[in-house]
Amino acid sequence: MVLPMGARGGNIVVSTLLSHFPIGNVRYAELIKRLARELKLRIWATIGSGYPEIEGVRRYARVLLPVRARLGRPYATKFLGPLAALLTRADGVDVYWLFDTVFPMRAYRLLGNAPFVLDADDPDFSLPPHPLLFDRRVVKLVVPTEMIRRKFIELYGLDARMVEVIPNGVDLRRCTPTPIPESRTVVYVGTLAPHRSEFLSQVIREVHRRDRSVRFVVVGDPTPGFIRSIEGCLDRVELSGYVSHDKVPDYIRKGAVAIFPQSVSLGGRVSIKLLEYMACGRPVVATDVDESFPVREAGAGIITPVDPEAFAEAILKLLDDRKLSQELASRGVAFARNYSWDRIAERYIDIFQKVRWGR
């Protein structure tokens, strides 16, 4: 439930500093949309972007170069970042909410002494940590899973009380469950980077070898290499290309089974697509990687080794056993209800309140 404006956080001035706006990160786009209704939210960005507008948020955003910058983002972050940081201080900021650490420390030093809530939804632990992580003004570090929380504490010696887990969420108004269709259709949504596309192509070929009645819907920009790898199966694969995020549930609901064909663990973040699969009422087949833990916790699908034969067998099992599919799908719907973006936004408001009052 979304609280009335001012009921929880309306008196708090929260400012965020971005390299570009609108923002392409789904987590932050969804949170900004909701927090703009609950807080005095100020969004400062250096340049415009090509991402879709965030519903109801434009009036809160101040973009220094509102037209998509031709001079390049590195130039913008180097010179416009410090300017944006100086301008934010005129807002009478209570809390800075920062999740775009592309600026050099010079920009962040200009923000003043208001406390920081720093987000790290997809950290790369193979790179040196950004110096902002150790800035004394950072009162809370927000991460999406307990696995990531433990890594920050163990690798960088952070105070455990500083690191807060707030997971990703799902829009339950858009991702509503529908009956599983009779068609033998499998849907995949997401990136077609090598850690997914190579295994996905193997799975498509293996399923095609066993059962040519199965169709795949692949939502995401396919690379030429991926298309070549499945050229013998293209008559049974719908390649949608890029789809705006608000249209993704329509594609998920085309499938009788939704899949998560990831070949390696990437640090344990919460995959939004898994929550959307479950909220739409689709059973899931996923590989046994860290990011599949929501499917395991929910009991909403079948977890297989990173083996295309085992993965294909699980897909065919769910297509053939509708009773099992429905049982798994129902568990997923119940699980996803706990991950509403509205609930996630309320948790942020609680953090901003505590940080503001030094609790």
pLDDT in tens, 157-192: 999 999 999 999 999 999 999 999 999 999 999 988
- 2 close to 342: Cβ distance less than 8 angstroms: yes
Calculate mean pLDDT across residues 334-345: 97
Domain annotation covers residue 142: yes
Q: pLDDT above 70 covers what percent of the chain?
A: 95
The overall average pLDDT reported for the chain is: 92
Burial track 68-87 (b if 16+ CB lie within 10 A, e otherwise): ebeeeeeebbeebbbebbeb
Domain annotation covers residue 306: yes
- pLDDT above 70 (res 12): yes
Q: What pLDDT was estimated at residue 117?
A: 98
Under DSSP, the state recorded for 220 is B
Does residue 127 share a domain with residue 88? yes
Q: Distance between CA 324 and CA 256 in Å, rounded? A: 12
Structural domain of 120: 13-169+340-356
Position 52 confidence tier, pLDDT thresholds 50, 70, 90 = confident
Does residue 90 share a domain with residue 229? no
- pLDDT 10s digits, 290-328: 999 999 999 999 999 999 999 999 999 999 999 999 999
Calculate mean pLDDT across residues 46-70: 84
Nearest residue to 265 (alpha-carbon basis) of 202, 197, 195: 195
Q: What pLDDT was estimated at residue 51?
A: 86
Q: What pLDDT was estimated at residue 3?
A: 40
Does residue 259 share a domain with residue 126? no
**pLDDT higher at 72 or 134:** 134
Neighbours of 349 (CB within 10 A): 20
Does residue 17 share a domain with residue 164? yes
Phi, psi dihedral angles at 129 (to 5 degrees): -65, 150
Does residue 317 share a domain with residue 226? yes
Number of structural domains (the chain) is 2
Does residue 46 share a domain with residue 130? yes
Does residue 347 share a domain with residue 332? no
Q: What is the pTM of this model?
A: 0.91
- Tokens 């739409």 sit at which residue? 280
Instruction: Look at residue 79 and give its three-state secondary structure.
Output: helix
- pLDDT above 60 (res 283): yes
Which structure tokens are listed for 304?
């297989």
Q: What pLDDT was estimated at residue 60?
A: 87
Containing H/E element for 309? helix 308-320
Does residue 134 share a domain with residue 53? yes
Position 10 confidence tier, pLDDT thresholds 50, 70, 90 = low
- pLDDT 10s digits, 226-266: 999 999 999 999 999 989 899 999 999 999 999 999 999 88
Q: Distance between CA 243 and CA 300 in Å, rounded? A: 25
Q: What pLDDT was estimated at residue 287?
A: 97
- Give residue 87's identity as a one-letter amino acid code: L
Position 5 confidence tier, pLDDT thresholds 50, 70, 90 = very low
- pLDDT above 50 (res 219): yes
- pLDDT above 60 (res 110): yes
Domain annotation covers residue 179: no
Q: Distance between CA 216 and CA 187 in Å, rounded? A: 6
- Give residue 288's identity as a one-letter amino acid code: D
Under DSSP, the state recorded for 289 is S
Q: Distance between CA 231 and CA 243 in Å, rounded? A: 22
Q: Distance between CA 44 and CA 99 in Å, rounded? A: 12
Does residue 67 share a domain with residue 110? yes
Domain annotation covers residue 293: yes
Domain annotation covers residue 4: no
Q: Kind of pairing, strands 215-219 and 40-48?
A: unpaired
**pLDDT higher at 272 or 71:** 272
Does residue 156 share a domain with residue 92? yes
- pLDDT 10s digits, 24-36: 899 999 999 999 9
- pLDDT above 60 (res 71): no
Q: What pLDDT was estimated at residue 267?
A: 80
**What CATH number should be reported for the domain holding residue 17?**
3.40.50.2000
CA 103 to chain CA mean position, Å? 22
Domain annotation covers residue 178: no
- pLDDT above 50 (res 6): no
Does residue 157 share a domain with residue 37? yes
Domain annotation covers residue 7: no
Domain annotation covers residue 136: yes
- pLDDT above 80 (res 1): no
**pLDDT higher at 7 or 101:** 101
Does residue 38 share a domain with residue 71? yes
**Secondary structure (DSSP) of 190-217:** S--SHHHHHHHHHHHHHHHHH-TT-EEE
Neighbours of 194 (CB within 10 A): 13
